Amino acid sequence: GNSVTQMEGPVTLSEEAFLTINCTYTATGYPSLFWYVQYPGEGLQLLLKATKADDKGSNKGFEATYRKETTSFHLEKGSVQVSDSAVYFCALNPGNQGGKLIFGQGTELSVKP
Amino acid sequence: NAGVTQTPKFQVLKTGQSMTLQCAQDMNHNSMYWYRQDPGMGLRLIYYSASEGTTDKGEVPNGYNVSRLNKREFSLRLESAAPSQTSVYFCASQGSTDTQYFGPGTRLTVL
């Protein structure tokens, strides 16, 4: 079946530190991969996505590369800010299933000044 | 452009009460979804509607019903609320791309 596993949180970093949040997936076929971000008290927003192997998604300084050989889609940012504090969700769309998304459990990031 | 709106934002129910969560989108999207978010479990799909007039069960449909009233609106009904349904509920919509757009959520507590 299809599933997504993220590293557990919470993750606490100092401002300007390097961020990695690990995400691995299990899927049949050729899924699309996503990172969504949820700021406190809000709904989820798309952060970035990749639709095929070796694609790199990027937005707001965040990057993630679709690695089929390791079934991974790790999120990285070179220098985090306090405003990046949020919960980050990795998700996959397995395709041909009505657009359904399968989410990881979420990783809470807290950035301290 | 409002995007996806949900009402109410907060609700407290007693066990056995019923209620309907409302969702509307103004992006002319065909597909709409209801998720619940619980600590440590990410978001789980309750029901979805691939197009007006169709609905399908997701991962956790028990205890819920849905209605796709028209292209804009997709409601979620709890007929007899249980404490296990205490959660945050999100509605989402999707158009021709594979990106889903989420509403702000409804925080439901069942006592």
Task: Return the number of CB contacts < 8 Å for A and B.
Answer: 54
Interface test with B, best of A25, A90, A103 (most B CBs within 10 A): A103
Would the pLDDT of B32 be above 80? yes
High-pLDDT (> 90) share of chain B, %: 87
| DSSP-derived pairing of the beta strands B43-49 and A23-26 | unpaired
Cα–Cα distance, A112 to A13 (Å, whole number): 6
Cβ distance of B42 and A103 shorter than 8 Å? yes
What per-residue confidence (pLDDT) applies to B1? 63
- For residue range A64-108, list pLDDT tens digits in order: 999 999 999 999 999 999 999 999 999 999 887 777 899 999 999
How far does the CA of residue A75 sit from the closest CA of chain B (Å)?
A: 17
Q: Is A44 on the interface with B (CB under 8 A)?
A: yes
Q: Which amino acid is at B105?
A: G
- Number of alpha helices (DSSP H) and beta strands (DSSP E) in chain B: 0, 11
Would the pLDDT of B84 be above 80? yes
- For residue range B35-72, list pLDDT tens digits in order: 999 988 889 999 999 999 899 999 999 999 999 989 99
What per-residue confidence (pLDDT) applies to B40? 81
